[in-house]
Structure 1
Amino acid sequence: MVRLNRTAIYSFLLVFIVLMYLQRLRNKYFLQNQESEDLNLQKERPPLIEYTIEKFGVEGDRQNYSIQTEKHSDEYCIGYSFLKATETFREPDGLEPVTLATHATSDMIDAIEMMPQLWDGPISIGVFVDYHSSNVLEFLSEIHRCDIRFRRKMTVHFAFRRAPFQAECPLFELKHSNRSCQEFYASHEYLRNSIVGPFQLYPSNLMRNIARKGAQSDIHFIMDGDMIPSQDFATKIKPIANEIVDGKSRRVLAIRRFETSHGADIPRDHRKLLKSKRLHKTFEFHHRFFAAGHHIDGLDDWFRASGHSDMVSTKEVAYPLFSVED
């Protein structure tokens, strides 16, 4: 009798397992059919795009661009103020705004788009292009028209290397776009992915100087395009920059620069920076290449002082090699 009961129980369990397995197969079948139907619906109608206020609130004027490029050292042609910021950031305090003067290539388009979120002030950028990457200028003109933050802050210049036997620099012309901003952002990823980098050497010093010359203010913070400034740096540095950089004395305002390990969060204030440094995720910039040359003196004292006060201060450091910088 006991043996029959065990057999019945085992049979019941086996039937139960088989039924559960069949139920899972049935659910999987209906789920695949539902996903297939959803995919077909997505193909039949355009994807829904969620717009931010900055990107969709106010569309800039559509315009044709016509810029006479300038010759530089018989090798390059430069177009200044291809796109011009709509705001000067000149406030009643009478202080000169600090312009972020930077440079980039077309394959750094992600960093270029991110800059207005990282710098609360005017930005002047020199973009190097060639035949293969010139479509970045049309893309940037669309960003300038459709993104309020970009339009408020960004002044964009460009340069390219002259072709052999080219006597003069050309007139650069770009017709206005027929796309709406909704249409542009609907194809934003596709358009951005179609931009390639320039297939030649990149004149970084030239592009940096173009950004400085084309800046809309007299005080410039020089930074590579892939660098990330600390939180609210533009507004915090403005008073002390106006005090030190007067255009008469040969003084510059230097800052400490760090690099963060790949994949780690980039700290944007001194507290997070100290924590990241203690975890060995953040280091002095380029310390691996030449530790002695990139060591920052007095770093521990700076962290201690920053921990006790949020006031921005400076410390004068003599630079004995200034004569070679002329």
Structure 2
Amino acid sequence: MWKKSSGLNTFRRHCRGGACKQIFYSTLILIPIYPLLASPPPSPDGRSLLLSPCLSETPEARVLERAVLESRVREMEEENRQIRLQLSQLQGTAGQPADGGNYGNAVWGASADTGPEDVENTAEERANHTECPRSPTVLKCELIHVACVCAGHNASRDVVTLVKSILFHRKNPLHFHFITDAVANQILSSLFQSWMVPSVQVSFYDADELKSEVSWIPNKHYSGIYGLMKLTLTKALPSDLTKVIVLDTDITFATDIAELWAIFRKFTDKQVIGLVENQSDWYLGNLWKNHKPWPALGRGFNTGVILLYLERLRRIGWEQMWRLTAERELMSMLSTSLADQDIFNAFIKQNPVLVHQLPCFWNVQLSDHTRSEQCYTEVSDLKVIHWNSPKKLRVKNKHVEFFRNLYLTFLEYDGNLLRRELFGCPSHATSESVQLQGALEELDEDDQCYDFRRERITVHRVHLYFLQYEYTPTGDDTDVTLVAQLSMDRLQMLEAICKHWEGPISLALYMSDAEAQQFLRYAQASEVLKNRKNVGYHIVYKEGQFYPVNLVRNVALRNANTPYVFLADVDFLPMYGLYDYLRKSVVQLDMANTKKALVVPAFETLRYRLSFPKSKAELLSMLDIGTLYTFRYHVWTKGHAPTNYAKWRTATTPYKVEWEADFEPYVVVKRDCPEYDQRFVGFGWNKVSHIMELDAQEYDLMVLPNAFMIHMPHAPSFDISKFRSSPGYRYCLQTLKEEFHQDLSRKYGAAALKYLTAQRNI
């Protein structure tokens, strides 16, 4: 049957600009509609195209066919009526372009004095419709440049969602330009280096060097001085960069960014900036009594998405022009309310010929006071969603659930899936990716332990400082960071650890993208975690089939910021006051000038509810009555037996113990100690190998007489279950042990032979 979604509707879907409407209207006038009722268009074999050949021969079918055509005629007549109305409005604004509002053409060249109501009645209707399909395209491997200002922990986390949405749709190489503070630089440089996305380049620019350019501008916007940084891009970005797409961090793409990049080709010779009209009434000045916004052309423009023609901006003296505009307006306005957006709009008010208005779907603005609904109910597709509100996902918009789901899709999307090649384009491979490829090619896929060996060289994405982090160094160089790793099933331990340890903590969390968001919600809802700023949370994203426990430990260790580290596990609770006791022991044992590893004796309880001992005397009493036990005494005695618990009961001063095979205590050492060996994954020998290397480097193992930690019960991990049930797993672990011993012997010579001998005597 001839449906409404046929060629007519397809034309309307792809062609909704003002010029297209004129073409469409003219075409309709020429179509001989009514003869269709008497003689439907024939097919090549003479049958009706409206129904199948079989059905069209019945009287009932011919009646149905006539009814369908009559209904269709009525619909087309109504559409004709609507189009005539719209055409008459367009003819009233002759000379205006149909591509979304091109302010550089004749009518807009004199529009500096146009009133808000005039702009509303003319620009909106043209700006909110999909353009004709003759839009320019981007070359297959053309490099697209994207710039973002990103400062602090939260913005660094937000920008990842933006990047994911861009990578998901992209078909072109990308170059991201980040203007960052020191925090965002550390986070994003580590993230992109470990993400290893093909055909993606990243450059960083120091925001501190640009602050003097805008620090003189009083600004009331919540983004602070960083909200003004986009004004400095002609200076900040490389001088040979001709054009760039500039984005806020709270943007989500629903299409290929190349479509936006292609719009540069539609700029007239004079246009230098591409912007979407502001969808709130802010610049109309009617939001509340005595509201006085900065000057703007009609509704003004939103700067969440900007096309900057850098080459032309430099040519016209952009830096001097925006400065003069800001200085002039600040004489009466005193400060900016919307940061760079106020200055951009004041500049455009005076120079409307320089702006290219983008259709609204390139920046659908979702805050509480926008008219974004008028945009997205009148277009066939949305391309960019902008959460331009401090409340982000909590904005009051009746369609917010749809937009929230789109955002959450990329928020929790597995970033590993975005490591796809752009076939047919130069890869721009980094040295790291070349080395990784070489290491992979050297592996023997027929090796029974191939999966273990592959895990050792797998590069995991790492997002450092996932939450706000603040640390002020102590002045005496004795500070100690508790270092641990965990996965989602140990999350419940965090609050208890924070209550037991008041010092800095470095935690590496092995999680998927979706689990990282669950953790974020958990941390933001916890009063204990919310109030602790000296805890560094580092996300190591899941990849592969094994838990890379030592790799995750190393991420936590590398990002400790104190001279000393307490290498612990997250399922242990330190005794109350251990932080202060360890700092005193560091001084007492002269750790600054000696190689020592301070052993904190480990105990355990089989009870989920425990009245935690407040002193050594109370702990000894609980040991005697069977409420506590020395750690793993009944399943893995060798792991902690060298601690010599019998001596510890009566010791009042630190005492030295000797290394023994399979010893794996929890220790305090200098931060520059050897890292954990990353060949050991999952369960088995991950801590044993580390203590062995400390001993090989001649660290003295000193047991602290008044320190203790208690292991809390939990369900066994998936990895220990694999170890117990899989002979192949146990075989590979034994193979890795032997290879570790060989490497240790090569590294430390004859002194390391004792480890191989001890292993063979077990």
Give the shorter-chain TM-score range: 0.5 to 0.7
What's the TM-score once normalised by structure 2's chain length?
0.27
* Residues 242 and 139 of structure 1, relative CA distance in 2, 3 Å threshold: farther
Counterpart of 2:156 in structure 1 is: 65
Counterpart of 2:541 in structure 1 is: 160
TM-fit CA distance, 1:86:
2.0
TM-fit CA distance, 1:112:
1.6
2:459 alignment partner, one of 69, 75, 81: 75
1:315 alignment partner, one of 655, 662, 665: 655
**In 2: Cα distance, 1:144 partner to 1:83 partner:** 13
* Residues 86 and 249 of structure 1, relative CA distance in 2, 3 Å threshold: same
Residue type of the alignment partner of 1:230: M
* Residues 219 and 146 of structure 1, relative CA distance in 2, 3 Å threshold: closer
Are 1:129 and 2:252 matched, yes or no?
A: no
- Give CA deviations for 1:171-223 in whole Å, capped at 9, x if unaligned: xxxxxxxxxxxxxxxxxxxxxxxxxxxxx532221121111111121200011
Task: Say which one has the larger Rg.
Answer: 2
CA RMSD of aligned residues (A): 3.1
TM-fit CA distance, 1:288:
1.3
Are 1:105 and 2:105 matched, yes or no?
A: no
Report if aligned partners of 2:481, 2:506 keep a CA contact under 8 Å in 1: yes
Report if aligned partners of 1:126, 1:208 keep a CA contact under 8 Å in 2: yes
Report if aligned partners of 1:62, 1:145 keep a CA contact under 8 Å in 2: no
Report if aligned partners of 2:524, 2:530 keep a CA contact under 8 Å in 1: no
TM-fit CA distance, 1:107:
2.4
Counterpart of 1:212 in structure 2 is: 557
TM-fit CA distance, 1:141:
5.7
* Residues 293 and 210 of structure 1, relative CA distance in 2, 3 Å threshold: closer
SS in 2 for 1:316: strand
Report if aligned partners of 1:157, 1:210 keep a CA contact under 8 Å in 2: yes
Residue type of the alignment partner of 1:159: V
Counterpart of 1:257 in structure 2 is: 602
**In 2: Cα distance, 1:278 partner to 1:126 partner:** 36
**In 2: Cα distance, 1:97 partner to 1:143 partner:** 29
* Residues 120 and 108 of structure 1, relative CA distance in 2, 3 Å threshold: same
* Residues 95 and 273 of structure 1, relative CA distance in 2, 3 Å threshold: same
* Residues 114 and 241 of structure 1, relative CA distance in 2, 3 Å threshold: same
1:185-204 map, 5 Å: 201-204=546-549
2:574 alignment partner, one of 220, 223, 229: 229
Are 1:88 and 2:211 matched, yes or no?
A: no
Residue type of the alignment partner of 1:65: S
SS in 1 for 2:551: helix
TM-fit CA distance, 1:121:
0.6
Report if aligned partners of 1:100, 1:124 keep a CA contact under 8 Å in 2: yes
TM-fit CA distance, 1:247:
6.1
**In 1: Cα distance, 2:614 partner to 2:494 partner:** 18
* Residues 206 and 250 of structure 1, relative CA distance in 2, 3 Å threshold: same
Report if aligned partners of 2:481, 2:503 keep a CA contact under 8 Å in 1: yes
| Structure 1 gap segments, 5+ residues each | 1-60, 164-199, 307-312
Report if aligned partners of 2:484, 2:507 keep a CA contact under 8 Å in 1: yes
TM-fit CA distance, 1:233:
0.1
1:29-44 map, 5 Å: none
1:273 alignment partner, one of 619, 622, 625: 619
**In 1: Cα distance, 2:508 partner to 2:649 partner:** 34
What's the TM-score once normalised by structure 1's chain length?
0.59
**In 2: Cα distance, 1:287 partner to 1:76 partner:** 35
**In 2: Cα distance, 1:208 partner to 1:215 partner:** 11
**In 2: Cα distance, 1:272 partner to 1:95 partner:** 32
Report if aligned partners of 1:99, 1:122 keep a CA contact under 8 Å in 2: yes
Report if aligned partners of 1:95, 1:239 keep a CA contact under 8 Å in 2: no
TM-fit CA distance, 1:237:
1.0
Percent of aligned pairs sharing the same letter: 19
TM-fit CA distance, 1:296:
5.2
Report if aligned partners of 2:643, 2:657 keep a CA contact under 8 Å in 1: no
| Structure 2 gap segments, 5+ residues each | 1-151, 158-186, 196-456, 661-691, 697-740, 748-762
Report if aligned partners of 1:124, 1:214 keep a CA contact under 8 Å in 2: yes
SS in 2 for 1:99: strand
**In 1: Cα distance, 2:586 partner to 2:518 partner:** 33
* Residues 159 and 298 of structure 1, relative CA distance in 2, 3 Å threshold: closer
Report if aligned partners of 2:487, 2:510 keep a CA contact under 8 Å in 1: yes
Residue type of the alignment partner of 1:129: M
Report if aligned partners of 2:461, 2:541 keep a CA contact under 8 Å in 1: yes
**In 2: Cα distance, 1:273 partner to 1:318 partner:** 25
The list of structure 1 runs, each at least 4 consecutive aligned residues, that deviate by more than 6 angstroms after superposition, is none
The structure whose RCO (Cα within 8 Å, separation 6+) is larger is 1
Q: How many residues are paired up?
A: 221
* Residues 228 and 214 of structure 1, relative CA distance in 2, 3 Å threshold: same
2:502 alignment partner, one of 120, 132, 145: 120
Counterpart of 1:283 in structure 2 is: 629
